[in-house]
Amino acid sequence: MFYTFDEILHAMHRNFRHLKLFLSFMLMLLLVCSCSMKEHKVKIALSKASANYIQWLTKANPDIEIINLYSLNKNVALDFLNNCDGLLLTGGEDVYPGWYGKEADTSRCTGFNLRRDSLEMAVLSRAMEMKMPVFGVCRGHQLLNVYLGGKLVIDIPADYNKSLTHMCQDYLHCFHQVYVLRNSALYQLTGIDSASVTTNHHQAVDILSPLLTVSARSADGLIEGVEWLNPVSKNFLIGVQWHPERMEKSNPLSGRLAEKFINECTAYKNTKNN
């Protein structure tokens, strides 16, 4: 069978048109899938992000989205938080003593950030209203206690005890042992009585919030971990004084905490979508 030149051109044009339609369809499908995947990622808000916190979380689950609230003003941060699935309150400056009735001790702080305090109190309040999973690290652990009605030790060596070093000049090589209480949710999660942790703080929980209970202490008795006293009908909440983001994932007081937090955020997201 023979085809004329015009017939060959017509067939090529028709096939090319079909190919273009097919390629357009595939491109649209890829875009929809890409948007859908991004939309279904677990979103975790960090009160102030850093590489250590991001790596700590993404090592536990690389398929999450991190939102840095610190770069936003308060109202925008609250809008972003509405679409998130968890809040991580990170370490940093001292919490301003005025938040817990110790304004007279302001000069004894090593530094504070009023804008950050205000932002974190606002987003924490919103997260609590939404019953969103909340994790507090170091300053974040202290902020949880203050928000819920507790108070802080202004300066550990001066006001509490000098027998144990909680803060070193070389903070990357500052460690001490933490002892986990056996009746705590933290013990159920980690299954350990004690472990070495990275520490760097000169303030700590003093008067514990009546809504919280202690989950871990250091050898000098300082409160190193907190959780709900009565967790029934409440959001997931944990506070730790040490820095799990600077520790090896294999340490139960680091890797398992990140995994648990992300799992709780995932469950929260699934609940929202149902």
Polymer length of the chain: 274
β-pair partners for 42: 64
76/119 Cα distance (integer angstroms): 10
Phi-psi region of 152 (alpha: psi -120 to 50; beta: other; left: phi over 0): beta
**Is the distance from CB of 173 to CB of 198 less than 8 angstroms?**
no
Which amino acid is located at 136 in the chain? Answer: G
82/129 Cα distance (integer angstroms): 11
β-pair partners for 238: 135, 227
136/92 Cα distance (integer angstroms): 11
Phi, psi of 154 (to 5 degrees): -70, -45
**Is the distance from CB of 79 to CB of 274 less than 8 angstroms?**
no
Residue numbers annotated as active site: 138, 243, 245
